[in-house]
Structure 1
Amino acid sequence: MTDNLARRVLEEPATEQAIEDLHGVLDQLWLDAAFVPQLDQMAFTTAVIESASNVVQHGVPSPGATLHLGVELTVSAERLKAVISEIGAAPHDPVPDLDDLPEPSLPDEDALLEDYDESGRGLSMIRALVTTVTVERQGDTNVWVLSRDSGQD
């Protein structure tokens, strides 16, 4: 069993304020886990914020429910892990098979200008930034688990 050296939790309504608060939670996490290389911190932070932003921007509450964002962040000597929960969410239909997503690639400048709207690219970006991504349904919650293997400088 891996010992967690740092841990932070956030749960609040899935609003833009939750994303702002999550930035602060991540800042505090890195104060406690300063041994994590900067590159790992930046990549993991970007993946977590993108995933949480997807909940806020695209999450659909179940009928009669209020959508909440839950984030549990843990750091061990070798791994960074985030459990991102869409609490009170309607099920994804269907839950995407993240292993079947195309490998991320860098588009050329014309393609970037042509498709400035980044909608739909978030999952590929998240997948490129972490070691594993899983999605599952647990009761009334869609749960995303992101992990990144971390090396020390």
Structure 2
Amino acid sequence: MTDILARRTLEEPAAEQAIEDLHLLLEQLWLDAAFVPEPDRMAFTTAVIEAASNVVQHGIPAEGATLLLGVELTVAVARLRAVISEIGAAPMDPVPDLTGPTGPAALDDDALLEDYDESGRGLSMIRALVTTVTVEREGDTNIWVLSRDSGRN
């Protein structure tokens, strides 16, 4: 079992204010997790903000629903994890398969991801910055899970 050393959560309407609040939440997280190497912090922060921004900019609420952004951030000794939830969202069609190769070599093969970001770069960048990205549908929520293995030994 992996011990969680720091945790932060956020749930608010999927609007620009949520992104500003998420920046503050990440700053607080790093105060509690100062042991995480700076390159890991920067990469993880960038990926989380990009994923949350995609929800705010491109998320589609289900009929009659208000779209909420939910974020759960956890830090363990060697793993950073973010669960980004599009609560009250319309289903993604199709749900992207993000389990393929990551890193710079994968950036040219991301045609499917262009449906989720105008330029196709946002989610490709997320994939390059974290170790794993998954997406699934649970009830009325699209759930993105990002994890980054930390370089700390």
Which position in structure 2 is the counterpart of 1:109?
none
Contact 2:69 2:85 survives alignment (8 Å): yes
Which position in structure 2 is the counterpart of 1:92?
92
Contact 2:133 2:144 survives alignment (8 Å): yes
Q: Secondary structure at the match of 1:98?
A: coil
Q: Which amino acid aligns with 1:60?
A: I
Which position in structure 2 is the counterpart of 1:61?
61
4+ residue segments displaced more than 2 Å: 99-102
Q: Secondary structure at the match of 2:57?
A: helix
TM-score, normalization by structure 2: 0.89
Aligned-residue Cα RMSD (Å) equals 1.6
Shift of 1:97: 1.0
Q: Which amino acid aligns with 1:104?
A: L
C-alpha distance in 2 between matches for 1:151 and 1:66: 39
What are the equivalent positions in structure 2 for 1:122-141 lying under 5 Å apart?
Answer: 122-141=122-141
| 1:6 matched to 2:6 | yes
* Count of aligned pairs between the two proteins: 142
Shift of 1:144: 0.1
Q: Which amino acid aligns with 1:49?
A: I
C-alpha distance in 2 between matches for 1:70 and 1:22: 10
Unaligned runs of 5+ in 2: 109-116
Which position in structure 2 is the counterpart of 1:20?
20
Contact 2:99 2:132 survives alignment (8 Å): no
What are the equivalent positions in structure 2 for 1:67-146 lying under 5 Å apart?
Answer: 67-100=67-100, 103-104=106-107, 119-146=119-146
Percent identical pairs in the alignment equals 79
Shift of 1:152: 1.8
C-alpha distance in 2 between matches for 1:137 and 1:6: 26
| 1:31 matched to 2:31 | yes
Unaligned runs of 5+ in 1: 106-116
